[in-house]
Chain A
Amino acid sequence: MLKRVYVWEFPVRLTHWINVLGIASLSITGYYIGNPFVHAVSTDQYIMGWMRFIHFVAAYLFAVSFLIRIYWSLAGNKYASWRVFNPFSAGKFKELKEITKFYLFMKKEPPTGVGHTACATYVYLGLFILFIVEILTGFALYSQSHVGFLWKLMGGWMLSLFSAQTLRLYHHLIMWLIIAFSIAHVYIGWLLDRAERSGIMSSIFSGYKTVEEE
């Protein structure tokens, strides 16, 4: 018997899509800020001004989305819980071995499971750390032009530990890591959608997966 399971609750889906929009707009505008590839023809234009404005607005949106997701890891269902991301929880290594075998064509079927795969939880944990570094370095750089206690607290304190240029470099490099993640993420979604036949791709819109009843 097949049954429909409500896996991704609304806040999980919402933050996911804010992140998609955020990462896309932050990457494009951020790349422009680091390397202005379009030049204005007249001083009346405001290209860099707009790029920075969009970057800052998207950054706030992304940071808030990250906070909502943190909150939901405490308040949400078992698929969203922080416990899923505990790298040392029982049986995690075995699950990781199983899913890795599937990715390396050593097994035909992916391991059964409803929420994140073991591999995904490790990757997302790393991704969350990258997000935190990106948000902190971003606000540290922002605090140079926006002086105030709030921005000092949100990242400006990092400037007393690292030089602005070092922060700028890592802020930029991590963007590429997140882009590389996004490519792999979409592909694996498609791969599992085909292999599991649980509707993983549509689940991030609807929240529901279709799984075999146990």
Chain B
Amino acid sequence: MQDDNLFAGLSRRGVSRRDFMKFCTAMAATLALPSSFVSQIAEALEKKQKPYLVWLEYQDCAGDTEALLRANKPTVAEIVLDILSVDYHETIMAAAGKQAEKSLMDVVKNHKGKYFVVVEGSIPLKDGGVYCCVGGKAAIDIAKEVCGNALATIAVGTCAAYGGLPAANPNPTGAVGVKEAVGGTVVNLPGCPVNVENITATIVHYLTFGSLPTLDGLGRPYFGFGKRIHDNCERRAHFDAGQFVRKWGDEGHRLGWCLYEMGCKGPAAYQNCPTMKYNEKTSWPVQAGHGCIGCATPNFWDTMTPFYKRLPKVPGFGVETTADKIGLGIAAAAAAGVAAHAIASSTKKKESEEK
């Protein structure tokens, strides 16, 4: 049964008013809104009808679902999403088989244009989409119907947003992101996995303002992906100073210096990891001593590798041949050519002088 509003559902689960207001404040902060919006968010969550939400899962590792469920105690955000996603979620719903598929179609039929779809995982298009089927139907056909009749689609994780790992070279299944597969209104929340706070914030934005957050050129909301990781990194001071980790476990690594030389892709990656962090703000890769791999970037598996080197490998050369080795080779060849020419030139001159 659907509760009348979000807060009623929350208080029944033992969430206090204080915790609820803390949640609303956190959401305002995530959305980069001033604190004056907290009461507006609280009002919206108290009064508005909860939107229906279905969660579709295609070519993925269920990592985004894991991210949603991994909290060690039920957080407000988790409960909110739990209430929202009660209608259909392949990994966690109780229903199975035809009944489950029926409940999905019921939402599509009865709440046309009023429900959210969260898609996790990429959609294969090759060979008529046979590489991913649910209940005998191809993912692309289900997605077209479910996303096509939805209020909006939220693509969570890099696979759903841009194809992700299944779409990495050579992309055997012809995997693409949801926007490319079905079009329509799609909010991309990439990341490997998605940061759950960003899903919650997107929905809270809709409930509060009646519209989706402003998106950038890659379909990502500015509140979550408008800032570069490098510019907000807690290790940035070490970068500017010139203090770098050179080997895993060396002095600099133990002192928490910059991971730039270890191939950190923070300078080319955009997400709110440094401020939002993961798992209830416990930590994030750089804080844990591992460089950013740019997981929220389209095609990151192809373009951000090798993850532990600054520069990609030079096309057409072996893995160990770095740009600097090739460059030094070119410069050395020029110097050698010059030297050879100079020697030949002076011998010739001597010969002609002797004559």
**Residue on A nearest B349 in the bound complex, by CB:** A194
Please give me the residue from chain A that is nearest to B327 by CB atom. Answer: A176
Select B311's contact among A36, A38, A169, beta carbons within 8 Å.
Answer: A169
Q: Does A47 contact B (CB under 8 A)?
A: yes
B134 within 8 A of A: no
CB of B279 within 8 A of chain A? no
Q: Find out whether the CB atom of A105 lies under 8 angstroms from the CB atom of B310.
A: no
- Per-residue CB contact flags for chain A residues 157-180 toward chain B (1 = under 8 Å, else 0) read 000100111101100110111011
Query: What string of 1s and 0s marks CB contacts (under 8 Å) between B264-306 and chain A?
Result: 0101100000000000000000000000000001010001100
Partner of B241, one of A42, A184, A187: A42
Task: Decide: A163 and B299 in contact? CB cutoff 8 A.
Answer: yes
Which of the residues B327, B333, B341, B345 comes within 8 Å of A175, measured between beta carbons?
B327
Task: Determine whether the beta carbon of B303 is less than 8 Å from that of A166.
Answer: yes
Counting CB contacts under 8 A, is A91 at the interface?
Answer: no
Chain A contact patch, size range: 35 or more
Query: Which B residues between 240 and 262 are near A, CB-CB below 8 angstroms?
Result: 240-244, 246, 252, 260-261
> What residue of chain A has the Cβ atom nearest to residue B218's Cβ?
A160
Judging by beta carbons under 8 Å apart, are B324 and A35 in contact?
A: yes
Chain A proximity mask over B212-247: 1 for CB below 8 Å, otherwise 0: 000001000000000010110000011111111010
Chain B residues contacting A144 (CB-CB under 8 Å) are 228, 267-268
Smallest distance from the beta carbon of B239 to chain A beta carbons, Å?
6
Question: Given A176-B326, A176-B328, do A191 and B261 touch, yes or no (CB 8 Å)?
Answer: no
Contacting residues, chain B, for A43 (C-beta < 8 A)? 237-238, 241, 243
B352 within 8 A of A: yes
A47 touches B241 (CB 8 A): yes
Instruction: Verify A45–B334 contact, CB threshold 8 A.
Output: no
* Bound CA span A34–B323, Å: 11
B330/A105 in contact, CB under 8 A:
no
Q: A39-B243, A163-B297, A169-B323 are in contact. Are A183 and B260 (CB under 8 A)?
A: no
B314 within 8 A of A: yes
On whether the beta carbons of A44 and B241 are closer than 8 Å, the reply is: yes
Identity of the chain A residue whose Cβ is nearest the Cβ of B315 in the assembled complex: A169
B348 at the binding interface (Cβ < 8 Å): yes
- A108 touching B352 by the CB < 8 A rule? yes
Q: How far is the CA of A39 from the CA of B242 in the complex (A)?
A: 5
- Report A163 CB to chain B, min CB distance, Å: 4
Q: Does B148 contact A (CB under 8 A)?
A: no
Q: Are B327 and A172 in contact (CB under 8 A)?
A: yes
Known contacts A46-B240, A187-B342; A145 and B327 CB within 8 A of each other:
no
Kindly state whether residue A148 has any CB partner on chain B within 8 Å: no
Task: Judge if A48 is at the interface, Cβ distance under 8 Å.
Answer: yes
Q: Which of B228, B323, B330 contacts A180 (CB 8 A)?
A: B330
> Which chain B residues in 153-192 approach chain A with CB under 8 Å?
none
How far does the Cβ of A75 sit from chain B's closest Cβ, in whole Å? Answer: 33
Distance, CA A44 to CA B238, complexed state (A): 9
Residues of chain B from 129 to 151 with CB closer than 8 A to chain A in the complex: none
CA distance A180 to B336 in the complex (A): 11
Q: Does A103 reach chain B (CB closer than 8 Å)?
A: yes
Per the 8 Å Cβ criterion, residues 178-212 of A in contact with B are: 179-181, 183-184, 187, 191
* Contact indicator B260/A103 (Cβ below 8 Å): no
Nearest CB of chain B from residue A171's CB, rounded to whole Å: 10
- Let me know if B344 is at the binding interface, CB within 8 A: yes
B268 and A172 form a contact (CB under 8 A): no
For A34, list chain B residues within 8 Å (CB).
310-311, 324
The complex places the Cα of A160 from the Cα of B218 at a distance, in Å, of 9
Tell me, yes or no, whether A64 is within 8 Å of chain B by CB: no
CB-based closest 4 A-B pairs: A176-B327, A47-B242, A163-B303, A40-B242
27 pairs, CB–CB < 8 Å, chain A vs chain B: A34-B324, A35-B324, A36-B244, A39-B242, A39-B244, A40-B241, A40-B242, A43-B238, A44-B241, A45-B242, A46-B241, A49-B242, A51-B242, A144-B268, A145-B267, A163-B268, A163-B299, A164-B303, A165-B268, A165-B303, A165-B311, A168-B310, A176-B326, A183-B331, A183-B334, A183-B338, A187-B342
